[in-house]
Amino acid sequence: MSVSPSPSAPTAVASPAAAPTQAELLDFVRRTAADPELIASLPLDPEGRTWVRLEGPGGSEAWLIGWPPGSGTGWHDHADSVGAFLTARGELKEYSLAARLPTDGWKTLELTEGVDRERRLTPGKGRAFGRHHVHEVLNESTEEHAISVHAYYPPLPQIRRYSRSGQVLRLEQVERPEDWQ
């Protein structure tokens, strides 16, 4: 489903010819998350995540996502896209790897000690990230939905999904846009 932001929602900040920077994507998700009418318009499902596609800056792909209690993404990356996301309502937790992974040609990788990072993202808190950023995002609440805004540039060419057992990361699946749109 495609939804245009309400008149008070932010509009693109980069010209179509210029790729938006991580800072511009973070500014976009921050301003979008501050639109209470848009945030309240997202239908929430008690069983699964819900999402609505938004118009992002400079040709980026943007999403408003609802997270029911206990839901999460699993370990994944956004391939060659840079991005940003921010919590608009509730609280999300991000686990990420502070390590540059090989982009192709591997199925199983042993991670070194000290690469794990953890962030608690309360309303108004978010982050930008670069290409091949491997992370997992969770709503650990047992009672409250969370809502977040995400933006990616270039529009997601693929999402690689991983499983993790201790320090071993295993590539499990590669999804393409037709798998989630």
Biggest CA pair distance of the chain: 48
Determine, yes or no, domain membership for 6: no
Domain span holding position 71? 22-179
The phi and psi torsions of 151 (rounded to 5 degrees) equal -145, 140
Q: What is the pTM of this model?
A: 0.86
Determine, yes or no, domain membership for 88: yes
Determine, yes or no, domain membership for 8: no
Q: Is the pLDDT of residue 128 over 90?
A: yes
pLDDT in tens, 131-177: 989 999 999 999 999 999 999 999 988 999 999 999 999 999 999 98
The percentage of the chain sitting over the pLDDT mark of 70, rounded to a whole number, equals: 90
Total number of domains in the chain: 1
Average pLDDT of every residue of the chain:
89
